[in-house]
Structure 1
Amino acid sequence: MAKHKIYSMSFASVYPHYVTKAEKKGRTKAEVDEIIRWLTGYSQEELEAVLDKKTDFETFFAEAPQMNPSRELIKGVICGVRVEDIEDPLMQEIRYLDKLIDELARGKSMEKILRK
């Protein structure tokens, strides 16, 4: 089966859309970065390096220092699909991130988004 095209897309090409979505709803780039760091374990410097290198999604998640075990608490529907039911592990990680950014844009508190 062919890989989904998002896997080879640069994370840096999608990142500005995450930030724009958040900022349109009065949230900040810093909050987007905090969510990404929480999910993946990247430091701010590592995240910026990934963006500078234009790392693809597959590599971005494969090289993540420490995927947060609490990400399994992320539930709900994104793009008409329940994130907890996605079988492809990489697609599930991408959709977890999408869901967290959606929650941010919908005004959820950072404490709830980060499953504290």
Structure 2
Amino acid sequence: MKSHDERIASMSFASVYPHYLTKVEKKDRTKEELHRVIEWLTGFTDEKLQQLINEKVTFEQFFNDADLNPNSNLITGVICGYRIEEIENPLTKKVRYLDKLVDELAKGRKMEKILREA
């Protein structure tokens, strides 16, 4: 399991971001909606997000810079075969939070539900 966590930590956010974007756009969601979800989770503005992409930061650096939303612990369920609530590695859990939000966006969930407002 450790190698899985290390792989996630060293992966560049910039390498995964285009996949997030493609996934949501294929389902008629927008880049703006994706950025809103990312900002909700991390506190990153569009400018900061673009800077992190340009710098090709790892997920570890990405989440070290993030100001994680206090409601992020409300993100539950299964993503990539893992139950989020049971993930012990804090960084892997944060990456899966992001994966889950992107997944919910692509599945057409209402923004208020994705952002845990309702």
Establish whether TM, by shorter chain, passes 0.5: yes
For each residue in 1:50-84, what CA deviation from the matched residue of structure 2 results, as whole angstroms up to 9, or x when unmatched? 011111110000111x1101000001001121101
Q: TM-score, normalised by structure 2?
A: 0.93
Matches within 5 A, 1:60-99: 60-64=62-66, 66-99=67-100
In 2, the alpha carbon distance for the partners of 1:12 and 1:81 equals 23
In 2, the alpha carbon distance for the partners of 1:34 and 1:63 equals 17
Matches within 5 A, 1:1-116: 2=3, 4-64=6-66, 66-116=67-117
- Unaligned runs of at least 5 residues, structure 1: none
**Tell me, what secondary structure is at the counterpart of 1:42?**
coil
- Give the C-alpha shift of residue 4 in structure 1: 2.0
Q: Which amino acid aligns with 2:103?
A: D
- Unaligned runs of at least 5 residues, structure 2: none
**Tell me, what secondary structure is at the counterpart of 1:115?**
coil
Q: Which amino acid aligns with 1:88?
A: N
Aligned residues: 115
In 2, the alpha carbon distance for the partners of 1:79 and 1:106 equals 15
Q: Which amino acid aligns with 1:68?
A: N
In 1, the alpha carbon distance for the partners of 2:106 and 2:65 equals 27
Q: Which amino acid aligns with 1:105?
A: A
Q: Which amino acid aligns with 1:29?
A: K
In 1, the alpha carbon distance for the partners of 2:29 and 2:45 equals 20
| Stretches (4+) displaced over 4 A | none
